[in-house]
């Protein structure tokens, strides 16, 4: 190239103001979706969706039985109705009567006029026998100006797999997505309720998750339901699950008092020269949607997995496919002691339920496959008693131990209290009387 900007005898033409590229991103229209307004008590749901509930959003909501999927969607529809928005429920798992009973409880603290207005804003189609017919239903009854449900702003399908739809039925799942997209294209929001597998994964082919805007997952945790957002086209995913509490009277959901996730810590006894020890544990939904894993440096992996499995067998605790992080300072001999089982379980449950353990509580006992608290070696009890007598263990202290350990330990009013715990469930209820487990 010479100084005149030519190359091989050809002159290059430099454009000072190049022509704009057709169909550029800048020229693409900015489509602002309208918003389905929710009252203040439901802002947690709007926040999970990226700050607002967009009209035309296609949401997949999965969870195990009893996690609160139907409760949450019914509550959303009732609260939308109080704001003037109508909803349609397509039921193929439960009857309209069962949904009416749930709505009656949810509106039991409202005035008669407000309750009637809320329930009048919800239409129900039941039973729905074939999900393949959903696109035709949308065209005929929802999008058609003369349709039975024309004017609804939210449609809930409860549930996709209500008739036992297998994951291999890709044509049927494609019809479900077609249904949702038809509604989304007309500004109607859709919530598709889905089952989960035993491994905690959403039932159905992966195309289902890929085809929606938002993927919500609900998990049970005793009094709580944990709401996570794995995928969100409208904002960041909610990788740290939000604990929701179900009101025992109205069954409505609200953010739990212990919404801030934090580790749990349980005190135990490490023996002579080790004294009181703390076992720390943290439970969390895997950050990237992968399978859960256990991180427990220096601890026997099989033992830890067995304890996690025992906790998961308690009704109301769904610990499948979570991340577990456990930190335990081992005694001077460097060995994990079997009677660390009870404090380790309590630390995990404390993290999972967001309920702290008092530092004055001390736990000792091995946990078997039936969740029984097994005997503590006599020499450990003798050493513990001596540690209490010589002031090595701060008092006041409450000892949670198997029944056989009660007699050998000291008990004095205001200084030492001993609680007999034949099972893990007993230890939970003695520690947190407000929790109920079976």
pLDDT at residue 288 above 50? no
Query: Under CATH, which architecture does the 35-255 domain have?
Result: 3-Layer(aba) Sandwich (3.40)
Identify the weakest region by mean pLDDT among 5-9, 14-18, 328-332, 428-432: 5-9
Give me the pLDDT at residue 239, please. Answer: 74
Across the chain, what does the average pLDDT equal?
A: 88
Asked whether 344 and 266 are in contact (CB, 8 A), the reply is yes
Give me the pLDDT at residue 289, please. Answer: 46
Asked whether 106 and 252 are in contact (CB, 8 A), the reply is yes
pLDDT at residue 15 above 60? no
Give me the pLDDT at residue 7, please. Answer: 52
Q: At what angle do helices 69-82 and 96-106 cross, to 10 degrees?
A: 60
Give me the pLDDT at residue 298, please. Answer: 85
pLDDT at residue 419 above 60? yes
The answer to whether the Cα torsion of 208, 214, 215, 216 is positive or negative is negative
pLDDT tens figures, 145-201: 999 999 999 999 999 998 789 989 999 999 999 999 999 999 999 999 999 988 778
Instruction: Give the mean pLDDT of 300-317.
Output: 88
Identify the weakest region by mean pLDDT among 11-15, 54-58, 210-214, 347-351: 11-15
Q: Which residues contact 377 (CB under 8 A, 6 or more apart)?
A: 339
| Tokens, residue 9 | 């005898």
Give me the pLDDT at residue 17, please. Answer: 67
Give me the pLDDT at residue 344, please. Answer: 95
**Same CATH fold assignment for domains 35-255 and 264-431:** no
- Write the CA distances from 271 to 268, 376, 386, integer angstroms: 9, 12, 10
CB atoms within 10 A of CB 430: 14
Percent of the chain with pLDDT over 70: 88
pLDDT at residue 436 above 80? no
Instruction: Name the pLDDT band for 403 (thresholds 50, 70, 90).
Output: very high
The model scores a pTM over 0.75: no
pLDDT tens figures, 126-145: 888 899 999 999 999 999 99
pLDDT at residue 93 above 80? yes
More confident residue, 3 or 225: 225
CA angle 88, 92, 95 (to 5 degrees): 80
Give me the pLDDT at residue 354, please. Answer: 79
Residue closest to 220 by CA, chosen among 320, 343, 350: 320
**Separation CA 211–CA 214 (nearest Å):** 9
CB atoms within 10 A of CB 300: 12
Instruction: Compute the residue count for the chain.
Output: 438
Give me the pLDDT at residue 261, please. Answer: 54
Give me the pLDDT at residue 150, please. Answer: 97
Percent of the chain with pLDDT over 90: 63
Identify the weakest region by mean pLDDT among 53-57, 62-66, 183-187, 409-413: 409-413
pLDDT at residue 12 above 70? no
Give me the pLDDT at residue 260, please. Answer: 56
Domain residue extents for the chain:
35-255, 264-431
CATH code, 264-431: 3.30.230.10
């Amino acid at each position: 190239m010479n100084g005149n900007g030519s190359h091989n005898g050809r002159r290059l033409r430099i454009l000072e103001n190049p022509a704009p590229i057709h169909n550029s991103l800048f020229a693409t229209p900015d489509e602002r979706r309208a918003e389905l307004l929710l009252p203040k008590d439901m802002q947690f749901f709007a926040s999970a969706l990226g700050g607002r509930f967009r009209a035309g959003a296609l949401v997949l909501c999965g969870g195990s039985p009893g996690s609160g999927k139907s409760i949450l969607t019914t509550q959303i529809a009732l609260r939308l109705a109080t704001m003037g928005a109508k909803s349609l429920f397509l039921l193929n798992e439960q009857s309209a009567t069962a949904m009416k009973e749930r709505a009656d409880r949810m509106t039991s603290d409202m005035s008669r006029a407000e309750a009637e207005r809320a329930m009048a804003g919800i239409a129900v189609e039941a039973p729905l026998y074939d999900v393949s017919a959903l696109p035709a239903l949308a065209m005929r009854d929802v999008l058609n100006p003369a349709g039975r449900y024309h004017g609804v702003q939210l449609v809930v399908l409860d549930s996709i797999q209500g008739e036992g739809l297998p994951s291999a039925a890709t044509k049927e799942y494609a019809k479900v997505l077609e249904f949702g997209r038809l509604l989304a294209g007309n500004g109607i929001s859709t919530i598709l309720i889905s089952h989960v597998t035993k491994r905690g994964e959403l039932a159905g082919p992966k195309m289902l998750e890929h085809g929606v805007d938002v993927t919500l997952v609900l998990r049970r945790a005793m009094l709580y339901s944990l709401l996570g957002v794995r995928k969100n086209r409208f904002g960041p995913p909610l990788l740290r699950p939000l604990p929701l509490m179900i009101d025992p009277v109205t069954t409505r959901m609200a953010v739990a008092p212990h919404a801030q996730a934090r580790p749990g810590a349980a005190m135990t006894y490490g023996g002579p020269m080790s004294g009181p020890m703390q076992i720390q544990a943290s439970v969390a939904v895997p950050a990237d949607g992968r399978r859960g894993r256990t991180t427990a440096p220096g601890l026997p992996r099989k033992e830890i997995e067995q304890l996690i499995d025992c906790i998961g067998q308690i009704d109301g605790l769904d610990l499948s496919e979570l991340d577990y992080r456990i930190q335990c300072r081992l005694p001077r001999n460097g060995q994990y002691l079997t009677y660390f089982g009870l404090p380790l379980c309590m630390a995990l449950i404390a993290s999972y339920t967001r309920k702290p353990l008092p530092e004055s509580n001390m736990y000792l006992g091995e946990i078997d496959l039936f969740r029984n608290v097994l005997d503590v070696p006599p020499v450990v009890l003798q050493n513990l008693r001596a540690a209490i007598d010589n002031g090595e263990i701060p008092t006041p202290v409450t000892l949670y131990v198997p029944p056989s350990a009660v007699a050998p330990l000291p008990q004095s009013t205001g200084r030492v209290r001993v609680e007999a715990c034949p099972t893990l469930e007993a230890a939970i209820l003695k520690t947190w009387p407000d929790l109920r487990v079976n």
